Chain A
Amino acid sequence: MSDVPKTDNRSHRQGIGEATQVVASLWFSVGKETLSVISLQAAKSHRNERIAVNVLRGAAVFVIFAIAVLIVYLAFEGTKTFSVDKFPVWKFLFSSDYDPGNNLGGSAVFITGTLLVTGFAIVVGGPFGIAVGVFLSEVAPARMAQILKPAIELLVGIPSVVYGWLGLTLLVPFLRTHTSSPSGFGLAAAGIVLSIMILPTVISLSEDAFRSLPVSLREGSMALGSTRWQMITGVLLPSASSGLTVALILGIARAIGEALAVQMVIGNSSQFPRGIFAPTASLTTEIVIDMGGAPQGSFQEHVLFSMALLLLLIAMALILLVRFALRGRG
């Protein structure tokens, strides 16, 4: 009898024990399951993460790959004038005897043309652009800036052929009737078109240069009793000089590479210009005109690729200059 409750008790205890065990194991297994679900999700999102990083890095590597292939390919193709055809480099740079049919590839005329139109553009467009940049940063009331900024964006958006077409239909006839130029085509027409085209670049970059200056400079200058104009010329211009240099360099880069707008108004005569209104040619215009007719593998084609390589080298040099100017700022 006494055994019975004991056993009962035992079995009862046992029952409780079993129940706890079941509950525990049940809880444990469910817990394990949710845990494994969570860890599965985590593993999945970690895998996604790894894939994403690699794909994104691939896109970044592509940028390096693109510029590397471009430089190598153009360097290879652009030096064939000197390596395959044995045309001396100094003659390419400094001789003006250009007759590719007879293996003469002196490109001094085109190099001069490029330098002159670019110089014209930066001398006219540079100061103008910086002035409007100062205006936007220091003078313009909010409403004026609201009109001016979209206008500048539109000037950027207008395609270069449309600038060329405007030059052709508006500027060239004007120059023909009002200057000594018999045709209106020439250095001045190309320079004016280019100076308008680089304006947006110079304006927005120089505005940024002025805006990045600390307010304390302006307050200090004003507190000393200077007028706004004295503050601009005496304090802000010198302080923003590296930023303004960058603005001008990138304006030059834009002008040097422009092809079709220049080609439409420069007159396309392969001789040194005999005056500011005289027709001439530049590196880009010569490539545009002659590349289509140059047989593949010919001396003429090689010379044109050498001109392209020269343009690329100038562009790279300008980028290094920009880096240098910005490093000076610290």
Chain B
Amino acid sequence: MASAASSAPSRRLSSNSGVRLRRLIDALATGVLWIMAASIICLLATFIMYLFYLGFHSLSWQFLTSAPTQSAGGGIGPEIYNSFYILVLTLIFTVPISLGAGIYLQEYARPGLFRSVVQFSAESLATVPSIVMGLFGLLIFVFYFHWGFTALGGALTLTLLNLPALVRVTQEALASVPDSLREASIGLGATKWQTIMRTVLPSAIGRLTTGIVLIAGRIFGETAALIFTAGLSVSANHPYELNPFRSAETLAIHLWYTHSESVIPDVDRVGNGSALVLLIMVLAFNIAARLAGSALTKRFTGRSS
């Protein structure tokens, strides 16, 4: 009895100091987490400001529009053109296939062997490193089809690389559409396909667009898959060609290539300018993805965001 009575206050005292200690640790840990999160924003801000600081002086109308040269003073005009050219070509292949596969997986396929095989294939395709995909493109389009380095080969390689991401975007966008919409449409006598085309896709169009534009940004900056498929050169005589069967060095590859292999004297100027243009394009794609996504959602569903 006596010992219990004497130990009770001391236990309370120790647990009080324990609480104080635990609260101190909690506050410290919370502070550290805040600092870590803030450092990510600082890191990004540093990158952006540094790239602007480096590249700002390189930017000029002449730099953006003229062709690269062996001597100093070359521009990046054809590279910017090729980046957009390959981007558009890639999207022409990627969007229909991945929309189709995504719609099939989300709306039609019943759980079973076929669906899990497709899902697993998409996941596997998503983890193939981009350089390995580039070598596969080299085997198929350059060696097997004997196309040489072509914009088309590069675009098809990028299609394989980005297909799984867009299938996933499609599936997630469709999954976000409430089932009540589908039930209402089927209840009015529409077939499944009519339901998908007139009810489900319009409701999902905002999310789909956001996903597609973000992936477009990734395609714009892709390099490793293009080195051995689209090549490292631009045509000297016809830099702005529409023909897909020609080698097409993109801006991202140009940034790597000027630094690592070529011998032009003003590597830093061209590199800094190219890096800044790439960064600005990525910012533009990100902002465009948000704006277009929310505008389309509002237009087609009347809901905001």
Q: Could you tell me how many residues of chain B have their Cβ less than 8 Å away from some Cβ of chain A?
A: 87
Q: Is B265 an interface residue (CB 8 A)?
A: no
Per-residue A-contact encoding for B117-143, CB less than 8 Å = 1, 0 else: 110111111011111110110111001
A10 in the interface, Cβ–Cβ < 8 Å? no
Q: Does B278 lie within 8 Å of A159, measured CB to CB? A: yes
Chain A nearest Cβ from B103, distance in angstroms: 5
A311 with B97: CB separation less than 8 A: no
> In B232-287, which residues have CB < 8 Å from any A CB?
232, 252-253, 255-256, 259-260, 271-272, 275, 278-279, 282-283, 285-286
What is the CB-to-nearest-CB distance from B86 to chain A, in angstroms, rounded to a whole number?
14
Interface residue B300 (Cβ < 8 Å from any Cβ of A): no
Asked if A135 contacts B34 (CB within 8 A), the reply is yes
Closest A residue to B164 using CB positions: A63
Q: Are A168 and B259 in contact (CB under 8 A)?
A: yes
Interface contact A159-B252, CB-CB below 8 Å = yes
Q: Hey, which chain B residues are within 8 Å of A226, CB to CB?
A: 22
Chain A contacts for B118, CB-based, 8 A: 60-61, 63-64
Given contacts A59-B100, A257-B129, A287-B131, 4 further A-B contacts (CB under 8 A): A63-B163, A66-B160, A166-B50, A311-B132
Residues of B within 8 A of A323 (CB): 120
Q: Please, could you name 9 A-B residue pairs with CB atoms under 8 Å apart, sorted by A?
A: A68-B121, A73-B140, A74-B132, A148-B37, A161-B275, A168-B259, A228-B26, A260-B224, A292-B232
Distance of A136 Cα from B37 Cα, bound (Å): 8
Residues of chain B within 8 A (CB-CB) of A58 are 100
Given contacts A148-B37, A284-B129, are A227 and B22 in contact (CB under 8 A)?
yes
Report A-chain residues with C-beta under 8 Å of the C-beta of B228: 291-292
- B 178-203 to A, binary, CB cutoff 8 A, 1 in contact else 0: 00000000000001111010000000
A305, B33: Cβ atoms under 8 Å? no
Q: Tell which of A131, A264, A288 touches B36, judged by Cβ atoms closer than 8 Å.
A: A131
A37: Cβ under 8 A from any B Cβ: no
Stretch at the interface among A17-25, A44-52, A91-99, A269-277: A44-52
B interface, over-half SS? helix
Partner of B37, one of A144, A157, A164, A318: A144
With an 8 A cutoff between CB atoms, is A109 at the interface? no
Query: In the docked arrangement, what's the CA distance between A61 and B224, Å?
Result: 27
Q: How far is the CB of A173 from chain B (nearest CB, A)?
A: 12
Residue of B nearest to A62 (CB): B97
User: Which of B88-114 touch A at CB < 8 Å?
Assistant: 96-101, 103-105, 108-109, 114
Say what secondary structure dominates the interface of chain A. helix
Which of chain A's residues 207-261 have a Cβ closer than 8 Å to chain B? 226-230, 232, 253, 256-260
Identify which of A48, A160, A161, A315 contacts B127 (C-beta below 8 A): A315
Stretch at the interface among B6-14, B41-49, B64-72, B291-299: B41-49
Residue of B nearest to A42 (CB): B191
Interface flag for B59 (CB, 8 Å) = no
Q: Are A63 and B192 in contact (CB under 8 A)?
A: no
- In the complex with contacts A135-B34, A166-B47, A256-B129, A157-B101 CB distance below 8 A: no
By the criterion CB–CB under 8 Å, are A73 and B139 in contact? yes
Closest CB pairs A-B (n = 9): A257-B129, A159-B221, A59-B100, A227-B26, A56-B104, A259-B131, A229-B26, A259-B224, A59-B101
Q: Which residue of A lies closest to B130 (CB)?
A: A257
Given known pairs A162-B221, A284-B129, the reply for A319 and B124 (CB within 8 Å) is: yes
CB neighbours (8 Å) of B32 from chain A are 131
Q: How many whole Å from B122's CB to the nearest CB in chain A?
A: 5
A-chain residues with CB within 8 Å of residue B34 when the two chains form the complex = 135, 139
A312 to chain B, nearest CB (A): 5
Would you call A158 an interface residue if the criterion is a C-beta within 8 Å of the partner chain's C-beta atoms?
Answer: yes
Partner of B124, one of A144, A162, A305, A316: A316
- The complex places the Cα of A135 from the Cα of B167 at a distance, in Å, of 30
Nearest CB in chain B to that of A315: its residue:
B127
Contact partner, B33, options A53, A134, A287, A318, Cβ 8 Å: A134
Check if B128 sits within 8 Å of A162, measured CB to CB: no
Shortest Cβ distance from A202 into chain B, in angstroms? 12
Chain A residues within 8 Å of B44, by CB:
151, 154-155
